[in-house]
Amino acid sequence: MTGLGELERAVMNVLWDGNGPATVREVVAALSSRELAYTTVMTVLDRLAKKGLVRRERDGRAWRYAPAASREAYVAELMYDALEFTGDREAALVRFARSVSGAEAEALRAALSEPGHAKRSRARDDSPG
């Protein structure tokens, strides 16, 4: 995981571990050890926004960036996706849901109710394998 991918990961970690929506400047400061240019971080945040991973909202003259979903929600989505790689999605989901804790179940529900995921799930209703 090197290069731009690694930067995206670092930026997402800042947003996930931070306290609420952050400006580009705040993210640059959080990653000060890497000595990144402002434009570099802005580019990365733009890419993440295009991928649907961060939302942005205007705050006065600046943009503030926040993650579109929690880290746990994405982990749950990945685990659920791994289930979808095979046949009986409903049974697999029940098996999976029975095992998760309350907080994880909440994250799973959140991941499943995301519009992008719901649309994809419907389209792949009889899961490709």
Please count the CA atoms within 13 angstroms of the CA of 80 that sit on its side-chain side: 26
Angle between helices 71-84 and 89-99 (to 10 degrees): 140
Draw the binding track, 37-76, toward other proteins (x: CB under 8 A; -: no contact): --------------x-x-----------------x--xxx
Q: Closest approach of Cβ 34 to other proteins, in Å?
A: 17
Cβ atoms of 13 and 1 closer than 8 Å:
no
The reply to whether 12 sits near other proteins by the rule CB under 8 A is yes
The reply to whether 79 sits near other proteins by the rule CB under 8 A is yes
Q: Closest approach of Cβ 61 to other proteins, in Å?
A: 29
Which run of H or E residues covers position 104? Answer: helix 102-113
Candidate residues 5, 20, 102, 115; the one interacting with other proteins per rule CB under 8 A: 5
